[in-house]
Amino acid sequence: MAQQASLSALHDSVLTALGTQIVAGDLPPGHVINLDGVSAQHGVSRSVAREAIRVLESMGLVASRRRVGITIQPAELWNVFDPRVIRWRLSSSDRSAQLISLSELRRGFEPAAAALAAQRANPHHCRIMAAAVSDMVVHGRSGDLESYLLADKVFHQTLLEASGNEMFRALNGVVAEILTGRTHHGLMPETPNPVAIELHDEVARAIRLRDGAGAERAMRAIIDEAKSSVTPPSD
């Protein structure tokens, strides 16, 4: 079991290193690499390198061809919905453009999910969202951004689940990476905006009261506030 954990850690390390290099442009489109090179550069076995390449290929970041090698693919072919691709792009100089794109995406589905949640949420969903808002209030005041982030992710995950739409629910990983990226890359205020917390409360209340229009409107305001309050990265 310890050996499996070690191999998994090595795989994740190589995958993250290569993925980060690709989205940052350090490995540009058309550049060709091979397993031996990956194995030597990262000090791992060919099997670990092969598994990392296989995952990158499933994301559309690379393409493997016999007698050609492993070719880095252009951004147009990437699976941009993969949470790991989002995470890597938010860690790169592309983060501002990525945040704008993600904000536009969120505006397209989260308000609609909130409106559906107002029709379909059960009491358990409502209790979780209300508790998440309470936690956001507490952690926002104390400045505990990690605990605030956890409560924020619980809120949005529950909202997407409460929509009753499996397509919206499947986008939870995307939303979680957006929220995590803002926090971990200094892209939000050190002290969460009380207005943002109040808007989350408005969404939760509108859903509880079966007010679809109100839930949709407040959710859209949350996304707009998040976009406007992003601070430039310190690095």
Mean of the per-residue pLDDT values of the chain: 91
Per domain, the residue ranges of the chain are: 2-77, 83-229
- Angle at 23 (CA atoms; ends 22, 28), nearest 5 degrees: 45
| Position with higher pLDDT, 111 vs 185 | 111
Residue 7's pLDDT band (cuts 50, 70, 90): low
Residue 5 in this model has a pLDDT that exceeds 80? no
> What pLDDT is recorded for position 4?
56
Closest CA relative to residue 194, chosen from 137, 233, 146: 137
Mean pLDDT of 139-149: 95
**What pLDDT is stored for residue 126 in this prediction?**
98
Higher pLDDT, 146 or 11: 146
Q: Is 170 exposed, middle or buried (0-12, 13-18, 19+ CB in 10 A)?
A: exposed
Instruction: Give all strands (DSSP E) within 130-192, no chain letters.
Output: none
Which fold would CATH assign to domain 2-77? Arc Repressor Mutant, subunit A (1.10.10)
Fold of 83-229: Four Helix Bundle (Hemerythrin (Met), subunit A) (1.20.120)
Give the pLDDT confidence of 110-132 residue by residue, as tens digits: 999 999 999 999 999 999 999 99
**Tokens describing residue 201:** 């409360």
User: 83-229: same fold as 2-77?
Assistant: no
Predicted confidence band at 231 (pLDDT cuts at 50, 70, 90)? very low
